[in-house]
């Protein structure tokens, strides 16, 4: 089912219209919603806004492992749209972090979210005289140096830490996008 939360716009064909956040949440709770399109301003802020649905989804994903539908924001309120889209990105981060496993030991129970420091390092060159060093463009968190801003010379980003291995790393998604951006370096 596709759910369209709005107070004024015409409902697109094939979508079920709801006018209030509690109606959208009630349908989400059935587990039958595959797509959700949200307006923010619904005419009575006391009764709720589209952002209330995003907040409910975020809590349900985090505390109950709720599987959210595909979510779109169609609000004309640009600041509210931005806030709702940040909330949706946070939901996606929660989903991605729930299944993150350590690339070294494969454990997921010992993995927690952590800010990771990215900086360049020198290390022994593999299969070459160990007295020679080379500049690596990857650190334990597998983020290429080119993705850092010029200043400051260090960068902190969302990542993970394995208590078992005592190593930090980033998600597979970040690693793959990093390699795509820097292919051929």
Q: Are residues 47 and 85 in the same domain?
A: yes
Give the total number of structural domains in the chain.
2
Q: Please give the helix or strand (H or E) that residue 70 lies within, else none.
A: strand 70-73
Q: Is residue 106 part of a domain?
A: no
pTM: 0.55
- CA-nearest of 41, 81, 75, 38 to 57 is 38
Torsions phi, psi of 163, nearest 5? -65, -30
Torsions phi, psi of 172, nearest 5? -55, -35
Last residue of a domain, one of 71, 98, 125: 98
Q: Are residues 93 and 10 in the same domain?
A: yes
Are 5 and 41 a contacting pair, CB within 8 Å? no
**Residue 98: partners with Cβ closer than 8 Å, 6 or more residues away:** 65
Q: Are residues 75 and 144 in the same domain?
A: no
Task: For residue 45, give its domain range.
Answer: 2-98
> Which tokens belong to 106?
């494969």
Chain-centroid distance of CA 137 in Å reads 24
Predicted local confidence at residue 144, as pLDDT = 45
**pLDDT (tens digit, 9 = 90+) per residue, 42-86?**
999 899 999 999 999 999 888 787 889 999 999 999 999 999 999
Q: How far apart are CA 1 and CA 34, in angstroms?
A: 6
Q: Are residues 160 and 127 in the same domain?
A: yes
Q: Are residues 20 and 44 in the same domain?
A: yes
Q: Are residues 26 and 74 in the same domain?
A: yes
Q: Are residues 91 and 28 in the same domain?
A: yes
Last residue of a domain, one of 66, 98, 130: 98
Percentage of the chain with pLDDT > 70? 66
- Assign 110 a pLDDT band (cuts: 50, 70, 90): confident
């Amino acid at each position: 089912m596709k759910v369209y939360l709005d107070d004024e716009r015409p409902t697109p064909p094939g979508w079920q219209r709801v006018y209030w956040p509690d109606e959208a949440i009630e349908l989400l709770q059935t587990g039958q919603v595959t797509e959700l399109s949200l307006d923010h301003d619904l005419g009575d802020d006391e009764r709720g806004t589209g952002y209330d649905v995003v907040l409910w989804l975020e809590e349900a994903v985090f505390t109950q492992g709720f599987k959210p539908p595909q979510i779109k924001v169609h609000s004309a309120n640009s600041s509210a749209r931005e806030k709702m889209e940040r909330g949706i990105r946070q939901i996606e981060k929660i989903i991605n972090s729930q299944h993150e496993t350590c690339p070294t030991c494969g454990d997921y129970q010992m993995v927690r979210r952590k800010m990771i420091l990215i900086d360049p390092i020198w290390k022994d060159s593999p299969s070459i005289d160990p007295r020679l060093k080379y500049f690596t463009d990857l650190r334990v968190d597998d983020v290429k140096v080119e993705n850092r801003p010029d200043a400051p010379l260090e960068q902190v980003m969302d990542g993970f830490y394995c208590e078992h291995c005592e190593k930090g790393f980033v998600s597979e998604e970040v690693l793959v996008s990093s390699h795509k951006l820097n292919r051929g370096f």
